[in-house]
Structures are given as structure tokens and as C-alpha cells.
């Protein structure tokens, strides 16, 4: 499996329509298949370094006592209508080295969307604390399904 998951789906929408949703913090909550993202605060992102807060509930995804917490999402790569990548960190825990992202490519019937999750930079200490990958491939695939349902309307 390596230290990166990638899933793809052609979505019947333009790269601009998909990208607009992915730049909106509420869009991330709306398409999340894991059930962990509860709500978000912050405006649309437009450049590397932009941030927003997501209110999380880990109990929705795993049977753990951690429950509710907040993460700050920081945009690490952004190419309009082509790429958005971010890392997430908790205020009480340093960034752990994993990132998420979407690549968008024009396709014959819309946009080829690649969703990825990379944990290659996670420290050994963090790997001892939590099993990786934290998010299964099935959650990435399901999120693409919700993304399609949302932007293809």
C-alpha cells in the first residue's frame, strides 16, 4: 500500500465547479463521507497559507474516547481549478505530517478528480500513537461519490 492512498472518479462538472466547492470550508463538511467533519468556520481559501477551522467528532468514524475536537486546516498547495492540498493540525498537538488533496483534470465527460491522502512524513512517534492510514480508501471513494452528487445537480 505504501504511504499514500489515491482514488479517482470522473465527475460530470467543470473543474471550476469542483474547485469552487473544495475551496469552501463548508464544502468539505458537506462532502465528508467519514462523518467526522461536523462544521467549519472561515472563508473560502484562495492561496497557499490560507486557513480555516473544522469542528471534528472522531466518534463518528472510530470507536474512541477522543470525541470532539477542532483542527486548523492549512492550505499547502493551490493551483486554481487544478489542485488543492492541505494539512490539518490540532491546537494541542503539533502537525503530524499527513496531508490530503484533490487533483482536477479536464475529462471528456467532466472532470477527473483524484483524491489523495499521504502520510509519508508522519513521525515514528505519531505512528506509534495511531495506526496509519487513519482514513481508509473506502472513505476517500465515498467522499468522491458525495462530491459528484453535490456538484452534478
What's the pLDDT score for residue 116?
Answer: 97
Rounded mean pLDDT of 128-142? Answer: 88
So what's the pLDDT on residue 111? 98
Give per-residue pLDDT as tens, 13-44.
Answer: 999 999 999 999 999 999 999 888 999 999 99
- pLDDT tops 80 at residue 153: no
How far, in whole angstroms, is CA 129 from its chain's centroid?
21
> Could you tell me the pTM of the whole model?
0.92
Residue 105: pLDDT band by 50, 70, 90 thresholds?
very high
Return the domain boundaries, the chain: 4-151
Q: Per CATH, the architecture of 4-151 is what?
A: 2-Layer Sandwich (3.30)
Answer with the residue of higher pLDDT: 127 or 4. Answer: 4
d(CA 29, CA 13): 19
- Given this model, what pLDDT does residue 65 score? 61
Task: List, for residues 54-94, the tens digit of each pLDDT value.
Answer: 999 877 666 556 678 899 999 999 999 999 999 998 887 76
Amino acid at each position: 500500500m505504501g504511504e499514500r492512498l489515491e482514488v479517482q472518479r470522473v465527475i460530470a462538472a467543470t473543474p471550476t465547479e469542483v474547485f469552487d466547492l473544495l475551496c469552501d470550508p463548508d464544502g468539505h463538511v458537506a462532502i465528508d463521507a467519514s462523518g467526522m467533519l461536523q462544521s467549519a468556520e472561515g472563508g473560502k481559501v484562495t492561496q497557499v497559507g490560507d486557513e480555516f477551522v473544522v469542528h471534528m467528532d472522531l466518534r463518528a468514524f472510530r470507536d474512541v474516547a477522543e470525541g470532539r475536537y477542532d483542527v486548523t486546516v492549512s492550505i499547502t498547495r493551490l493551483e486554481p481549478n487544478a489542485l488543492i492540498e492541505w494539512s490539518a493540525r490540532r491546537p494541542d498537538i503539533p502537525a503530524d505530517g499527513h496531508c490530503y488533496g484533490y487533483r482536477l483534470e479536464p475529462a471528456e465527460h467532466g472532470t477527473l478528480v483524484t483524491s489523495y491522502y499521504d502520510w509519508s512524513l508522519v513521525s515514528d512517534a505519531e505512528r506509534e500513537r495511531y495506526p496509519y492510514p487513519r482514513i481508509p480508501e473506502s472513505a476517500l471513494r465515498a467522499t468522491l461519490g458525495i462530491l459528484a452528487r453535490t456538484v452534478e445537480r
